Each structure stands twice: as structure tokens, then as C-alpha cells.
Chain A
Amino acid sequence: MVDNNRWGNFFAHLVLIVGVAIVVFPVYVAIIASTHPPGTFVRGVMPLLPGPNAWENYRTVITEGRSRAGTPPIGGMMWNSFIMAMAITIGKLSISIISAFAIVYFRFPGRIFFFWIIFLTLMLPVEVRIVPTFQVVADFGMLNSFAGLSIPLIASATATFLFRQFFMTVPEELMEAARVDGAGPMKFFKDILLPLSITNIAALFVIMFIYGWNQYLWPLLITTDPEYYTIVMGIQRMVTGGDSEPLWHLVMATVVLAALPPVLVILFMQRLFVKGLTETEK
């Protein structure tokens, strides 16, 4: 091995430890801030050691929110985020896998045309057509609803491409054998293709759950009723919602709660996450 050099390794560890410390620092500060009473933030610099108020702060944000500033309790917002994330994830996965199945396993007029329509979604992120998309959703009466929060976001070219690529690698013999045994297309899909795709589905699930949970602009546009606020967009209301300086201890408790679910998903499913991330971009 060329790289076996003690000083080099020491230096590399040093760089990485300092690097990891810098990367972790913002979240460390948030966790610490969320354990302090409000008074700490009135005087001087932010604290770097835990305070005594953790239980109190988290209880306040989860059950009460800041009703005066128009922020509902966090408990409800987290539930909304969860529903939205799950609806987006499951929606994206199901419509993509069946479209990929149609494109790979059938030959029919208009195949290429439909493929390009799906491809176009890559080029039209919601950020570039904010106002007209809002108008369409408003015309359908989908403002302030879970349908409005999720359905416009579930078209997915990346997932369709990934499934298409994967289906292309499935051996031809499997399908021929299924056909000889008299299985129709849907039976083949359900009993052979789906079980084979499980790892891909799981990897995409991780990526899309994070995508769904972290939606910001879309819920901001189409929810005006606090009943439907999601936690990631709700934080903005906490920061700017009052007249005075934000109540940092409560804001940071909310930040920690909002970041927790997707971070846990990544930490516990790291292998699937890495697989999903690197494969969707191919």
C-alpha cells in the first residue's frame, strides 16, 4: 500500500475530526439551545452546554405551539408532514413502477411519446412555474387538502427511469417462463417483478420520504389553514411570526423535531440511502 504513512494518516484523521465537528456543530447548537429557558437568550452569547428546560420546551411546542403568533402545536404539524411524505412516497413509487412496466414489457403505439412526456417532468420543477401551478390546484379546489399537498408532486421521471433500467436487467427467461406457464402480464408483475424490485423500491422509498418530508415551497403556497401546516414550512412562521426576536428555545426545539424523522431514516437505512441516491442520478 502506498498510503501507509503514519503522519499522513494522523493528518487525515485530524482533518476529518475537525470537519465532522464543523458539520455537526449547527445541530449541536440547536439541541443545546432547545434545552434552555427563554432568559438565556436575552443576555449575551448562545449557550454551548445543556440547560435545564428541555422537558418544558419540548412539551410546550408539541402540545401548545405559539398560538398567539399563529403557529399551531407541533404535534399536529408533524402528523401532517408524515401524511404528506408518505402520500408522496407511495404515490411516486406506485405510479412510476407501473409506468416503467408498461414501457419495458409492452410494445404499443405512442410508447416513445409517453416516455418523453414523463421525461419532461425533470425539466419543469415546481419552482419555475409557481403561479400557474397554484392556479391549477386552486381551480381543482385542492387548496388546504392532503390531496393538494401530495398529488401534484407525485409524478417522477427519476423513479420511472430507475425502474426501467432495473427491468431491462431482469433476465428475459423469467418472462418467457412465466408466459409458458400461462401467467398474464399483471400476474407476472405481481408475482415476479415486484418481489425482484424490493431492494430498489426500498432504496427509492428512503430518498423520496426525505424529499416529501422536506417540501417547503409547495405547502407554503397551498396551505393557508393552520390545520394543514407542515412542520418544515411551519418553522418559518415561528421565526418571523412574532414582532420581536424569535423565541429561540422554542424555535430550536421545533427545528430538532422537524429534522429528526428524516435524519433517523438516513442513519438507520444508510445502505439503502446511499444506493438510492447514487442510482437515481445515473
Chain B
Amino acid sequence: MQTKRTTFSSKWLPYALLAPQVIITLIFFIWPSYQALVQSVYRQGDAFGIRPPTFVWFHNFQALFADDLYLNSLRTTFIFSVGTTVLSMGIALLFAVMVNRMIRSRDSYTTFLVWPYAIAPAIAGVLWWFIFNPTLGILPYMLDMVGYDWNHRRNGNDAMIMVIIASAWRQISYNFLFFLAGLQSIPQSLIEAAAIDGASRMKRFWTIVFPLLSPITFFLMVVNIVYAMFDTFGVIHATTEGGPSQATTILVYKVYRDGFVNLNFGSSAAQSVILMAIVIILTVIQFRYIERRVNY
């Protein structure tokens, strides 16, 4: 890793400068993660210290993968993440392609499309929860006219659709900005050359623009999956609370429930370790990709 060609020399100063960041990282990041690792291979003792914690090897993990509720939560998380990512990126790409055609109105449209990023996931959840409210929400009212009885309190699919829409809504801004930046970096001459060769608008998009956007698309896919898996806790917690009957219990929400409400620390720690593995894999994918992009 590079430094400057010439550097300052001091025995202690660099350590002093790094100290605050490193100390906070050790205390609040590394140590708790280590604790989670340790707890994940123990069965917890009782509160009175009569039965001490016992080392149980991978029992907690085996128990998880034998547990239908956990397997169900894995499936729920998968559907939720894919749904949120596809919906949000699809809409964002459409908006970005349209805005990219504009010259004078580009900035005004951008302003209208970026601000939902500022809205916290929990608040986004509450907003859509209100709109989808079965008794007074406007969308159930409209769905009722076409004969669909919307009720996210009883119907798990309805609840899932609602949390996906709420989570994707907020993320559109982010994806839009990256897609727009990507579109603007595509040389106009390529598109004009294809047009002269007689390629239609659709053909130009699918054979030139879209392939050139693929690095950004891939990057956004990873970022969106991370967002859907880890940052949407608020959407679930403030609205459906994982229900009805576990239909929207994503992994992060389950760790929280099992740890803080059901006080099952061993299982919660094992779930934490699995989540850590997932984040580490996603981060490595993301950074490997970035290295490649630098080498273009």
C-alpha cells in the first residue's frame, strides 16, 4: 500500500493519530464480534450461575438449520432482498435513461428524485403502511374496486409486497444517481455510430448502453442486497414486526427478536455469525469488483 514519496518521521505521532479510530473499532466492533463467535459455540448458563455456560461445539448452528422458523426466515430474506433490489434498480434505471435524454430539465427531475434517500427506512415503512392501511389506505380502496381484498395484517404475501415497496422506494434515489452518472460517462459517439448503422433505439440500448452499464449494475446489485439485508430493520420493526405469522421476519429482525425478546443468546449469536459471514462475502465481492474497475 502506498504512502507519499517523502513522509514525516515521528515515532509516536502516527499511533496517536490512529488511536481514537482503532480503539473505538477494537472496543465496539472487533470485541463484540469476537464475543458473538464465542457465544455461538456455547449454551448459555442460567441467570443464577448454578449452571455455567457449556461448550457445545456447533450445536447452536445445527439447531438453527434444523429449525423451520430459521429456514423460513432465510427464504423470506432471499425473496425480500431480490424483490427490493430488482424493483428499485428497475425503476431507477428507467428514470435514469429518461432523465439522461433531457437537457434543460435534467437537474429539476434529479432534484425531485433524490430526496427520498434522506428518509429513514423506518419512516418510509410507516408512510407506506399508512397508504396500505386496510381500512383507510388509498391503495386498498383502489384494489377493492378491482376486487382484491388487501390485508397485510392477515395475508403474508400482502405484507411482503408492502415492505418490499417501502424499502425499494427509498433506495430508488441512490440507484438513480449511480445509473445517471454511468449513462453520462458513455461516449455519445458510440451511440451515434450505431444510429448511423441503422440500429433502432431499443437495439442501441440493449447492445451498447446496457453492456457498458454492467459494471455499475453489478456494483449496485451488491449494494442493494446489503441494504435490503441489513438496513431495512426499521421498515420491518416499525410496521409488520415480522408478521403476520413470520411472513416478513428477515434474518436481521430474527437476530434482534431472538436476542432481545426471546433472550436466546446462543441462537442469536450463531445467527450473528452467519450474518457476519454473509456481509464478509458481499464486501469481498464488492471490493474485488472495484479493483477490477480501477484496472480498466
Chain A residues with a Cβ under 8 A of chain B: 2-3, 8-9, 12-13, 15-16, 19-20, 23-27, 29-30, 33, 41, 44-46, 48, 94-96, 98-99, 101-108, 111-112, 114-115, 117-118, 120-125, 127-137, 151-152, 154-156, 160, 168, 172, 175-176, 179, 184-186, 188, 210, 213-214, 216-217, 220-221, 232-233, 235-236, 239-240, 245, 248, 251-252, 255, 258-259, 262-263, 265-267, 270, 273-274, 277-278, 281-282
* A-contact 0/1 string along B108-121, CB 8 Å cutoff: 01111111111111
Known: A99-B18, A135-B32, A259-B118. 13 other contacts (CB 8 A): A23-B169, A29-B138, A45-B136, A46-B131, A46-B133, A46-B136, A104-B3, A105-B7, A184-B8, A210-B117, A217-B234, A248-B130, A282-B290
**Contact assessment for B126 and A120 in the assembled complex, using a CB-CB cutoff below 8 Å:** no
Chain B hits for A101, CB < 8 A: 17
**A20/B1 contact (C-beta < 8 A), A108-B14, A120-B30 known:** no
Q: State which residues 271-285 of B face A: CB under 8 Å.
A: 272, 275-276, 279-280, 283
Contact B1 A27 (CB under 8 A): no
Check A23–B260 contact: CB distance below 8 A: no
22 chain-A/chain-B pairs, Cβ below 8 angstroms: A19-B91, A45-B136, A45-B141, A98-B17, A99-B17, A105-B3, A106-B7, A107-B3, A107-B7, A121-B29, A124-B279, A129-B33, A131-B255, A132-B33, A132-B35, A132-B36, A160-B21, A172-B4, A184-B8, A214-B119, A248-B136, A273-B114
Task: Classify the secondary structure of B's interface with A.
Answer: helix
Q: Which of A3, A131, A251 contacts B260 (CB 8 A)?
A: A131
Asked if residues B32 and A129 are in contact (CB atoms below 8 Å), the reply is yes
Q: Which of B110, B123, B135, B275 is within 8 Å of A232, CB to CB?
A: B123
* Contact yes or no, B98 A129, CB < 8 A: no
In the assembled complex, B95 has its CB within 8 A of some CB on chain A = yes
**B8:A278 contact, CB within 8 angstroms:** no
Residues of B near any A CB (own CB < 8 A): 1-11, 13-15, 17-18, 20-22, 24-33, 35-36, 39, 91, 94-95, 98-99, 101-102, 105, 109-124, 126-131, 133, 135-138, 141, 169, 172, 174, 177-178, 181, 191-192, 195, 201, 204, 219, 223, 230-231, 233-234, 237-239, 241, 252, 255-256, 259-260, 265, 268-269, 272, 275-276, 279-280, 283, 290
On whether the beta carbons of A23 and B22 are closer than 8 Å, the reply is no
A236 to B138 CA separation, bound complex (whole angstroms): 22
A102-B17, A104-B4, A124-B276 known; A277-B192 Cβ under 8 A: no
Known interface pairs A122-B283, A129-B33. Does A216 touch B233 (Cβ–Cβ under 8 Å)? yes
Interface contact A16-B98, CB-CB below 8 Å = yes
Which of chain A's residues have a CB closer than 8 A to the CB of B8? 105-106, 179, 184-185, 188
Give B246 Cβ to nearest chain A Cβ, in Å.
18
Which residue of chain B lies nearest to A4 when distances are taken between CB atoms in the complex?
Answer: B101
Cα of A172 to Cα of B35 in the assembled complex, Å: 44
Chain A residue at smallest Cβ distance from B141: A45
**Which residues from chain B contact A48 at a C-beta distance below 8 Å?**
138
Q: Of A30, A175, A221, which one neighbours B4 at CB under 8 angstroms?
A: A175
> A129 to B122, Cβ gap below 8 A?
no
Question: Which of these, A25, A154, A186, contacts B24 with CB under 8 Å?
Answer: A154
Determine if B101 and A9 form an interchain contact, defined as CB atoms under 8 angstroms apart.
yes
**Contact residue among A12, A172, A235 (Cβ-Cβ distance under 8 Å from B122):** A235
